[in-house]
Structure 1
């Protein structure tokens, strides 16, 4: 999946059911999230995460933070309670429209639309914290490999990266991979073929997918970019989807 296709998937999700797309609670599908409850989960997630960061990096400066994959600003708003300035970045313009609408601290929180496989919109050494939860798991592996070194590049000396990423994902159900080589009509065959290639190049109609990188590769990418690993914390997404939270730091 290329960056354009990823963007199209998330633009569609932002139009159809944006808050559930950000936080997929089973009972909230179909625009069932209440905004106060939705943003309260961001406060709780950020407070718990910052407490973990403080345990490992108590001297971390709290001036400027980057919320990567910010969506509608669920975590950006919460980070602004601790950081003087927060920048949320996302691939979907529609998500950012909603983030701006819900922005309760515009003097502290801003949002940037990024459709590149890098973070070149930000100069090196821009942030004390790069923060990302339940985002990288929805980005194809090749793009994850592009973004992780960029996380290090935009860190200030002594800055910290805190992100979550699965180590493996469950296989796609056999039913989802079935293909009939004998459709009843040529029109059906052409429709299937055309739809398959249309989805491949645009992402329209694609579901939200899970992606992963093994621990050793994550460590290698960060170390090659100049960061050292501080902690790896087991935090599974589901019983069949193991996941870690990574804390890495750029040397001073």
Structure 2
């Protein structure tokens, strides 16, 4: 069976930048770190500007970036918030992020090892963010994690969570994907057929039910959600963002 934590840790040790953004120019032997970090800066500046147009100002005291990898988005966030925490399950990712933190002179960025309880991030945050992360986490594990992230959002704060909705597979491709995740050796065969290294880890792409995330937000007192749909190749993905409102502002519960 596929193990996403094991695979992610192996990616971190062998090809960390490519695993964060799977484009050929981000392979470890050809990475331009400045160009790589610029993509994170451009993304988060644009994302926050859009959210503030839709939801109003986002307080800039404390932010949390779940699944931070090498800090591609966390480090640019440090320019926009007083304090930023990045969480990741791979120690080698965090080591790379710490190195980039020194290079970027971002003392207000903190990186910590993640677990399913989010025990390294127990504070309340003005902005809780995750991008291109949950698609690699099985849904049965990921939905409770999303709930815990929503629990970390301060009243008045904003959550922005990105998930995959549809893989866009043909029936044959879908069956082959299931075999890759469940049958030993099929993943290595898949890589061999596509001219990749046989030992390269798998990147899962899991489909999330949007209705379950909306329900979790509603139960935790979030207001109307802003939804943005993105296509990543054949994969249909979605950002879900909303502000957590005060109890007195919530609609009556049924």
What TM-score, normalized by structure 2, do the two folds share? 0.81
Structure 1 residue ranges (4+ consecutive) displaced by more than 3 angstroms after TM superposition: 26-31, 174-179, 193-196
Q: Tell me how far 1:27 sits from its aligned partner.
A: 4.1
Aligned to 1:249: 243
DSSP 3-state at the match of 2:63: strand
**1:73 equivalenced with 2:83 (yes/no):** no
Partner of 2:56: 58
Structure 2 gaps of 5+ residues are 187-198, 247-254
In the TM superposition, residue 227 of structure 1 has moved relative to its aligned partner by 2.3
Q: CA 1:106–1:100 in 2, change beyond 3 Å: closer, same or farther?
A: same
Cα RMSD, aligned residues only? 2.5
State the aligned residue count: 228
The answer on 1:117 being equivalent to 2:116 is yes
Whole-angstrom distance in 1 between the partners of 2:211 and 2:37: 34
Residue segments in structure 1 that go unaligned for 5+ positions in a row? 180-192, 197-203
Q: CA deviation at 1:167?
A: 1.1
1:195-249 per-residue CA deviation (whole Å, 9 max, x = no partner) reads 68xxxxxxx86411111212212211222233234211111222x2111111122
- For 1:189, the equivalent position in structure 2 comes to none
Separation (CA, whole Å) in 2 of partners of 1:177 and 1:10:
19
Q: Alpha carbons of 1:233 and 1:195: their partners in 2 closer, same or farther (altered >3 Å)?
A: closer
Further displaced range: 46-55 or 98-107: 98-107
Q: Kindly indicate whether the alpha-carbon contact (under 8 Å) linking 1:132 and 1:164 is maintained by their aligned counterparts in 2.
A: yes
- 1:207–1:84 Cα change, 3 Å: same
Query: Contact 2:151/2:220 (CA < 8 Å) preserved in 1?
Result: yes
CA displacement at 1:54 relative to structure 2: 1.1
d(CA) in 2 for partners of 1:27 and 1:176?
26
Task: Find the aligned partners of 1:94 and 1:229 in 2 and give their Cα distance.
Answer: 38
TM-aligned CA deviation for residue 175 of structure 1: 5.2
Query: Per-residue CA shift, 1:147-205, capped at 9, x if unaligned?
Result: 111111111111101121111213372556679xxxxxxxxxxxxx8768xxxxxxx86
SS at match of 1:74: coil
Following superposition, the deviation at residue 106 of structure 1 comes to 4.1
Aligned twin of 1:185: none
CA–CA distance in 1 between the matches of 2:144 and 2:93? 22
TM-superposed CA distance for 1:41, in Å, is 0.6
Is the Cα–Cα contact under 8 Å of residues 168 and 236 in structure 2 kept in the other structure? no
1:160 corresponds, among 142, 149, 158, to: 158
Cα distance in 2 for partners of 1:178, 1:241 equals 19
